[in-house]
Amino acid sequence: MLRNTDVIELWKESENLMKRVLIVDDASFMRMAIKIILQKSGFEVIGEAENGVVGIKKYQELQPDLVTMDITMPEMTGIEALKEITKFDPKAKVVMVSAMGQQAMVREAIVNGAKSFIVKPFKEDHVVETLNKILEM
Amino acid sequence: MSSQYINEPLLDMFIFESSQLIQQLEQDIIISERESYLSELAIDEIFRIMHTIKGSAAMMCFNNISTLTHSIEDLFYFLREENPQDIDYSTLCDLVLEVVDFIKVEIEKIKNGDDADGDASTLINANKDFLSRLKQFSPPSDTTETKSHISPDTQQIYISQNNGFAPHSANLFKTVIRFDEGCEMENVRAFNIIHNLKNITNEIRHIPENIVDSDAARTIQNDGFIIYLKTDCSYEEIHQHITRTAFIKDLELDQLSNNEQFGQFEGGVKIQESKGQGYKEQSNKGQTEKELQFTSAGQSIISVSVAKLDKLMDLTGEMVIAEAMVSQNSDLKGLELDNFHKAARQLHKITSEMQDVVMSIRMVSLSATFQKMHRIVRDMSKKLEKEVELKIIGEETEVDKNIIEHISDPLMHLVRNSIDHGLESLEDRRATGKMLAGTVTLEAKNAGSDVLIIVRDDGKGLNKEKILARARDNGILHKDESDMTDREVYNILFLPGFSTKESITEFSGRGVGMDVVTKNIEAVGGSVSVDSLERVGTTVIMKIPITLAIIDGMNISVGNSRYTIPTTSIRESFRPQEADIIRDPDNNEMIMVRGQCYPLLRLHEIYDVKTDITKFSDGILVMVEQDDKIVCIFADELLGQQQVVVKSLPSYIRNERKIGGLSGCTLLGDGSISLILDISGLADFTGKDIKN
């Protein structure tokens, strides 16, 4: 018979399997869209941030497995936040969320340690594939 | 709309967020227009707002919105990056406002479940024209793409820093990569691959050489991305490394036997020392001083859907009723229950506190509603060629969310009326020695359980004779003219089908405006009155309750029926003496109190209730006042004061016939239903034959 503690262990284990994601985006619509996709695909969204400054703070607090990072944000752009996050944790896995026509910025992000990028408007399978590939790294 | 996103909460969020952003954008623009200057901050914000809406709209497949916002985004990108001089601010503001209007209309369509099918092409072209005109007048420089944040020559070829350790790197590979169709930005994906490979390769070349231009994306789509690399890693390692990249449809990886093929590219491509080394050092240093201090506090505000708040409000209402049902339970009659009453008092305290909190959650400041008027003033003053200054006082005043929705339209009507009908033309103002710019003042303030919203202008004021003449012509005059007070004359304005303006203008419509104002305000239990002085100006006062849901009421009984009078309208209650009752020639009963005469209303007669108490000396009189009208209501007895939850009358009763003098009903503690009296409605009964 399963004891309570076993159940908790099992539960913890399955929690560990769920990859923990932090979403950084100034548009609540985008955060929601990404969150819906991720939750459907077995990711756990552990935090959301509405600008770069909050994003960095949340990263330090939550130490997520993955970060999706919008580029254009008030207070601090995604690229600045990316730089700070990789400074804090060089192994950070940050995926940029870019709009079409922001190629230069995506390149800058890659040079600064972004692992990959998603292009808005994104499709569900694109997002999931991008994140899964990064987790394999 | 792509099927995967037909997702209600997401759509709601799109509508909510986009409307908010649009509103903010509108305000930014109007402020900028007034100052004829766009600050860097404003440009940046407008750019960001447009960028956000573009992204969201594209996700929801509202392509007309996303392409339109894209064109404005481009325009503001140019403004931000190039900072051109001599901007035609007035045209620019007009353009942006037109875009704002377009999006507003589309969002409204989306809200109503219609297709967002507006055609934005004219607007887009206008934006493009404006942009190209701007570009003509500013120094030529290739903007968008080439204004890259990295200098292009650092990124083509990487030679890893471990070059020195492996001078005889053995393995040469050629790889051809094809990406999934529709993965976008193939050239940047290629860049990503090169960037990832640079640390495990000694030398690397690729075709196309230039992956900075977006043209390269097309080449890669057609021909694939070809990489030649020299590395110490094995075939498997390289293969594995590359396949980790997302969206690779097809990967050919061949080991080359000699330097020949590789060498072919030697001449054509310049080789550069990678910046990797410096970057690595930097990041190591960063690690040691990693703790960055950020003071920003955690999220302290969340947004909640109104539906949930409504539900909470309903439940709180139920709880107030249930509380009354318990503490006033008829089973308790005649029992000595000290502890029970102590506990009941505690319960009562908590319920009423909770009620206050729930109410306060629903309270929204009027500022957004008031700020919207800036746009109306701007548009109208431009069209009518009047100078108008809008003054806003007390915008922080709060009212219930539901009520705000009802006052936005009336307020708009009133402001339009003030500017169109109230304020004189520039010549007239000059002739009368007034300041050329007219002033429209919007003011909100608390007055007891009501909020007063005042729209005041310093225009020509109302002309009594004109109003009366018009009323006579339209046959809406019910009283003798000489009997009417100034205020009564002015209030004719709010009757259906009345307009003093001879010509109909685009803004003020066909004289349906003012009675719509009254209807809207009365729908939330408020009232409208107007005051005016010729040549000095007009003031319209809307009096609206702060909240609709729960009121303090005095319960009274007539026969077996219960009625509730809002406590705020009660002046006093007293037991009359027969001698004070007088009758006017029409046989209407009146009562003399301290030398003043007030009309009497017998509730049992109005609502045809059987009761034994018909003599004034047996019952009680409650003097109530609303909008300067005072009546005395005759009832059997007072039952007590209590907070009651206002419910509207069930639709099967409302559909049957309109019952005057009732604003709703409520449930009392003993489970019986009490009818809530509408005092201003009741006052209309005086002096009329009630039965009809």
Amino acid at B617: S
Nearest CB to A130 within list B45, B147, B246: B246
Q: Which of residues 237-266 of B touch A (CB under 8 A)?
A: 244-247
A108 vs B247: CB contact, 8 Å cut-off?
no
Residues of chain B contacting A106 with CB distance shorter than 8 Å: 185, 188
Sequence-ordered list of residues with C-beta below 8 angstroms from that of B497, at least 6 positions apart, any chain:
B474, B476, B511, B512, B515
Amino acid at B167: P
Degrees, nearest 5: CA angle B416-B422-B425: 100
B296 vs A57: CB contact, 8 Å cut-off?
yes
| Strand intervals (E) in B448-549 | 450-457, 527-533, 537-545
pLDDT of residue B271: 39
Amino acid at B86: D
Q: Give the integer Cα–Cα distance in Å for A131 and A129.
A: 5
Sequence-ordered list of residues with C-beta below 8 angstroms from that of B193, at least 6 positions apart, any chain:
B177, B225, B227, B242, B245
Residue B528 structure tokens: 């409208």
Task: Find the domain containing B603 and state its range.
Answer: 550-683
- Nearest CA distance, A7 vs chain B (angstrom): 33
B244 vs A117: CB contact, 8 Å cut-off?
no
Nearest Cα to Cα of residue B238 among B199, B192, B279, B188? B199
Q: Are B676 and B553 in contact (CB under 8 A)?
A: yes
Band (A56; pLDDT cuts 50, 70, 90): very high
CA B61 to chain centre: 23
In a domain, B145, yes or no: no
pLDDT of residue B277: 40
HEC string of B26-87 equals HHHHHHHHHHCCCCHHHHHHHHHHHHHHHHHHHHCCCHHHHHHHHHHHHHHHHHHHHCCCCC
Q: Give the residue from chain A lying closest to B214, CA to CA.
A: A103
Q: Are B661 and B681 in contact (CB under 8 A)?
A: yes
A29 vs B148: CB contact, 8 Å cut-off?
no
- Nearest CA distance, A3 vs chain B (angstrom): 38
- Verify that B582 and B618 share a domain, yes or no: yes
Interface probe for A, chosen from B283, B285, B291 (most Cβ of A below 10 Å), is: B283
Q: Give the integer Cα–Cα distance in Å for A23 and A46.
A: 8
Residues of chain A contacting B150 with CB distance shorter than 8 Å: 104, 107-108, 111
Percent of chain A with pLDDT over 70: 88
Q: What share of residues in chain B are helix, strand, coil (percent, to 5)? A: 45, 20, 35
Nearest Cα to Cα of residue B187 among B160, B161, B148, B239? B148
Q: Give the integer Cα–Cα distance in Å for B335 and B262.
A: 103
Q: Which of residues 318-357 of B touch A (CB under 8 A)?
A: none
In a domain, B292, yes or no: no
pLDDT tens digits along B332-388: 888 888 899 899 899 989 988 888 888 888 888 888 888 888 888 888 888 888 888
Strand order in the sheet with B171-179: B201-207, B225-231, B171-179, B248-256
Q: Give the residue from chain B lying closest to A129, CA to CA.
A: B246
**CB neighbour class for A120 (10 Å; exposed up to 12, middle 13-18, buried from 19):** buried
Provide the number of CB pairs (under 8 Å) joining chain A to chain B. 139
**CB neighbour class for B588 (10 Å; exposed up to 12, middle 13-18, buried from 19):** middle
Nearest CB to B246 within list A26, A33, A116: A116
ipTM, 2 dp: 0.78
Long-range contacts of B126-131 (CB under 8 A, 24+ apart): B126/B95, B126/B98, B127/B68, B127/B71, B127/B72, B127/B74, B127/B75, B127/B95, B127/B99, B128/B71, B130/B75, B130/B91, B130/B92, B130/B95, B131/B71, B131/B74, B131/B75, B131/B78
Torsion angle of alpha carbons B674, B680, B686, B689, nearest 10°? -70
Q: Give the integer Cα–Cα distance in Å for B555 and B641.
A: 6
- Verify that B72 and B112 share a domain, yes or no: yes
B51 vs A98: CB contact, 8 Å cut-off?
no
B48 vs A26: CB contact, 8 Å cut-off?
yes
Phi, psi of B388 (to 5 degrees): -130, 135
In a domain, B77, yes or no: yes
Residues of chain B contacting A121 with CB distance shorter than 8 Å: 55, 58-59, 61, 66
Q: CA-CA distances (angstroms) from residue B625 to B73, B211, B570, B629, B630?
A: 57, 80, 6, 6, 4
Residues of chain A contacting B299 with CB distance shorter than 8 Å: 54
What is the separation, in whole angstroms, between the first and last Cα of chain A?
Answer: 39
- Nearest CA distance, B188 vs chain A (angstrom): 6
- Verify that B175 and B261 share a domain, yes or no: yes
Q: Which of residues 62-101 of B touch A (CB under 8 A)?
A: 66
- Verify that B420 and B522 share a domain, yes or no: yes
- Verify that B595 and B521 share a domain, yes or no: no
Q: Give the integer Cα–Cα distance in Å for B91 and B201.
A: 55
Length of chain B: 692
Residue B174 structure tokens: 């050629």
pLDDT of residue B375: 85
- Verify that B393 and B492 share a domain, yes or no: yes
- Which stretches of chain B drop beneath a pLDDT of 70? 1-7, 138-170, 258-300, 478, 497, 499-513, 548, 627, 658, 686-692
- Verify that B521 and B647 share a domain, yes or no: no
- Verify that B97 and B35 share a domain, yes or no: yes
Residues of chain B contacting A117 with CB distance shorter than 8 Å: 185, 188, 192
Q: Give the integer Cα–Cα distance in Å for B638 and B651.
A: 29
Phi, psi of B646 (to 5 degrees): -80, 125
Please indicate if any CB of chain A lies within 8 Å of the CB of B144.
yes
Residues of chain B contacting A73 with CB distance shorter than 8 Å: 48
Residues of chain A contacting B187 with CB distance shorter than 8 Å: 103
- Tell me which CATH code domain A21-136 carries: 3.40.50.2300
A26 vs B303: CB contact, 8 Å cut-off?
no
Q: Is the peptide bond before A121 cis (omega within 30 degrees of 0)?
A: yes
Of B342, B361, B380, the one marking the end of a domain is B361
Nearest Cα to Cα of residue A118 among B623, B676, B59? B59
**CB neighbour class for B148 (10 Å; exposed up to 12, middle 13-18, buried from 19):** middle
B292 vs A108: CB contact, 8 Å cut-off?
no
Q: In a 3-state reduction of DSSP, which class is residue B423?
A: coil
Q: Give the residue from chain B lying closest to A53, CA to CA.
A: B294
Strand order in the sheet with A94-99: A43-49, A19-24, A66-70, A94-99, A116-120
Interface probe for A, chosen from B22, B44, B56, B142 (most Cβ of A below 10 Å), is: B56
A26 vs B52: CB contact, 8 Å cut-off?
yes
pLDDT of residue B350: 92
A29 vs B56: CB contact, 8 Å cut-off?
yes
A99 vs B55: CB contact, 8 Å cut-off?
yes
- Verify that B335 and B273 share a domain, yes or no: no
Nearest Cα to Cα of residue B422 among B355, B364, B507, B480? B507
Q: Give the residue from chain B lying closest to A88, CA to CA.
A: B290
In a domain, B297, yes or no: no
pLDDT of residue A69: 93
pLDDT of residue B58: 86
- Nearest CA distance, A17 vs chain B (angstrom): 20
Residues of chain B contacting A60 with CB distance shorter than 8 Å: 292
pLDDT tens digits along B427-444: 888 888 888 888 999 999
Burial B590-607 (b: 16+ CB within 10 A, else e): bbebeeeebbbbbbbbbb
- Verify that B17 and B35 share a domain, yes or no: yes
Residue B341 structure tokens: 């009453």
pLDDT of residue B166: 42
Q: Domain spans of chain A?
A: 21-136
- Verify that B390 and B528 share a domain, yes or no: yes
Please indicate if any CB of chain A lies within 8 Å of the CB of B185.
yes
Does residue A23 carry a pLDDT above 90? yes
- Nearest CA distance, B150 vs chain A (angstrom): 6
Q: CA-CA distances (angstroms) from residue B179 to B188, B218, B224, B240?
A: 12, 11, 8, 16
Give me the number of domains chain B comprises: 5
The partner residues of B558 in beta bridges, in order of sequence, read B561
B283 vs A86: CB contact, 8 Å cut-off?
yes
- Nearest CA distance, B434 vs chain A (angstrom): 45
Specify the CATH number for the domain of residue B595: 2.40.50.180
| Strand intervals (E) in B534-578 | 537-545, 550-558, 561-566, 570-574
Q: Give the residue from chain B lying closest to A110, CA to CA.
A: B192
- Verify that B558 and B646 share a domain, yes or no: yes
**CB neighbour class for B479 (10 Å; exposed up to 12, middle 13-18, buried from 19):** exposed
A36 vs B18: CB contact, 8 Å cut-off?
no
In a domain, B603, yes or no: yes
Q: Give the integer Cα–Cα distance in Å for B34 and B682.
A: 49
